[in-house]
Chain A
Amino acid sequence: MILEGIHIILPILIVVAAAFAVLMKDLIAAAIAVAAMSLLLSLEFYILQAPDVAIAEAGVGACLTTAILVIAIKATKRMEEDA
């Protein structure tokens, strides 16, 4: 019963985090939203009985991608301009 509730709640949270990543004007906040989406996705992999993929997703998706995005944002501008 609890597991089915988590199976419903987690994909909704992933979609919410992805929407935040698209809508944020502050690009550092958008990078953190991408990291949160990746961490929730690794939790979903763990619930679906794939701990191997969950460890790889948490290491590469949540940490290394965020580091590369933060380096790229520090070399350019932080705020997104209005289109």
Chain B
Amino acid sequence: MSGMSKIVKTISGIAFPFITIYGLYIIAHGHLTPGGGFQGGAIVASGCAMILVSYGSIWTMNRVREKNLSILESLGAVCFILLALLGLGFGTVFFNNFLVGTNSLFGVVPAVGSGLANINTGGVIPLMNFAVGLKVIVGLFGIVLVMAYASRTKEGKK
């Protein structure tokens, strides 16, 4: 699949950083506001799919390898399960929130009734959001990339 016109390429190049930052914001604030790993990951994957459609599959396939995407997606799933198993190791049960109350990374417990949200809370939940976000970004972008690659091989046969 070839790319689109120069106007489409320029506009999507300008819009891509804003879409990515918004999706990463949704992922990082997943324990405070609506959204989380899946929703933010779907937004970032939408930006990547926009770049793929406007620049064409040949340009994208030269820069992104399908095998690397598969490795990154498996890394997200492994991180999620590893965090759950660390709860079994440091605490008592599977998925135990062992970071909360330690005042270290994401470990602050907010005061009861405080109105303002503190991002440094939640224990292990933001880290699991990051793992799910990585898996969803790479997985959804991989689906669109494989679709574009299949359409390119059909074009070559004609």
Give A residues with C-beta under 8 Å from B: 51-52, 55-56, 59-60, 63-64, 67-68, 70-72, 74-75
Contacts and interface: CB of A to CB of B under 8 A. Distances in A.
Interface stretch (B38-46, B73-81, B97-105): B38-46
A35 B111 CA distance: 44
25 contacts: A51-B35, A52-B34, A52-B36, A55-B26, A55-B34, A56-B38, A59-B39, A59-B43, A59-B45, A60-B42, A63-B50, A64-B42, A64-B45, A64-B46, A67-B144, A68-B143, A68-B147, A71-B1, A71-B57, A71-B147, A72-B151, A74-B1, A75-B152, A75-B154, A75-B155
A64 B39 contact: no
A74 B53 CA distance: 10
Contact of A51 (B34, B50, B148): B34
Contacts of B49: 63-64, 67
Interface string B4-46: 0000000000000000000000100000001110110011011
A66 to B, nearest CB: 9
Given A60-B140, A68-B143, 11 more contacts: A55-B34, A55-B35, A55-B39, A59-B45, A63-B49, A64-B140, A67-B53, A68-B147, A71-B53, A71-B144, A74-B1
Contact of A52 (B39, B45, B152): B39
A55 B43 contact: yes
A36 to B, nearest CB: 16
B34 A71 contact: no
A83 B147 CA distance: 28
B52 interface: yes
Contacts of A60: 42, 140
A77 to B, nearest CB: 12
